[in-house]
Chains A and B, each alone.
Chain A
Amino acid sequence: GAVVSQHPSRVICKSGTSVKIECRSLDFQATTMFWYRQFPKQSLMLMATSNEGSKATYEQGVEKDKFLINHASLTLSTLTVTSAHPEDSSFYICSAQVDGDYGYTFGSGTRLTVV
């Protein structure tokens, strides 16, 4: 089946620094990638949707200048948390959709801790 590889699985960074999270679709081309944030014991909240070669569409309340999304190829999307603060600590998960398919494949998630 379709596999999405997400890295790193865990990252600790200092407040004020930036962190990049990568998601790669290993055996299919993902025309659309979704980025979610999940706080402890809560559901997945969609942050943004990105289509290959286009600017990402952000959900209401998500700062696009803080959460930079790049989807430069059909197999790679990145999320960069800029100037991270402790309140950005969360579990970030990507999901890929194959064009025209109902299938949504999720990455394994990245635990970000900002100290």
Chain B
Amino acid sequence: GENVEQHPSTLSVQEGDSAVIKCTYSDSASNYFPWYKQELGKGPQLIIDIRSNVGEKKDQRIAVTLNKTAKHFSLHITETQPEDSAVYFCAVLTGGGNKLTFGTGTQLKVEL
């Protein structure tokens, strides 16, 4: 089955700095790569996603890059704000299926 690794597990940045979280996956047939933000006691919320036919996608301060050859994709958050503090999960959808496999999560803390 699909194996998704996520790093780092914790990330602390100063407000205004950038944050980068990386995920690697094992199945080359994977074709959809969403990123979720989960606040304490709440369900995950989609913040950005990318499909396998695209190398990069940006939405204001958030961007995702995908390297299919190396089988990794990264979340980039620029100009971080305290409200960006949360747990971030990457996920992978394997081609032909409809199940998401989640990474292990990254606790992001944005300090004033």
- A residues engaging B (CB < 8 A)? 6, 32, 34, 41-44, 46, 49, 91, 93, 95, 97, 102-109, 111
Contact = CB atoms under 8 A, between A and B. Distances in A.
Query: Chain B contact residues: over half helix, strand or loop, or mixed?
Result: strand
10 contacts: A34-B99, A34-B100, A42-B104, A43-B102, A43-B104, A49-B98, A93-B44, A102-B32, A104-B100, A106-B43
Contacts of B41: 91, 109, 111
Contacts of B51: 102
B104 A102 contact: no
A38 to B, nearest CB: 9
Interface in B42-94: 42-46, 49, 51, 89, 93
A111 B42 CA distance: 9
Nearest to A102: B32
Contacts of A105: 46
Given A95-B100, A102-B32, A102-B34, 17 more contacts: A32-B98, A41-B105, A42-B104, A43-B89, A43-B102, A43-B103, A43-B104, A43-B105, A44-B102, A46-B99, A46-B100, A91-B41, A93-B43, A102-B93, A107-B43, A109-B41, A111-B41
Interface of B: 32, 34, 36, 41-46, 49, 51, 89, 93, 98-100, 102-105
Contacts of B46: 103-105
Contacts of B89: 43-44
Contacts of B45: 106
Nearest to A91: B41
A106 B44 CA distance: 6
Nearest to A111: B41
A43 B99 CA distance: 15
A54 to B, nearest CB: 13
Contacts of A104: 34, 46, 100
A44 to B, nearest CB: 5
Contacts of B34: 102, 104
A8 to B, nearest CB: 13
A102 B53 CA distance: 14
Nearest to A109: B43
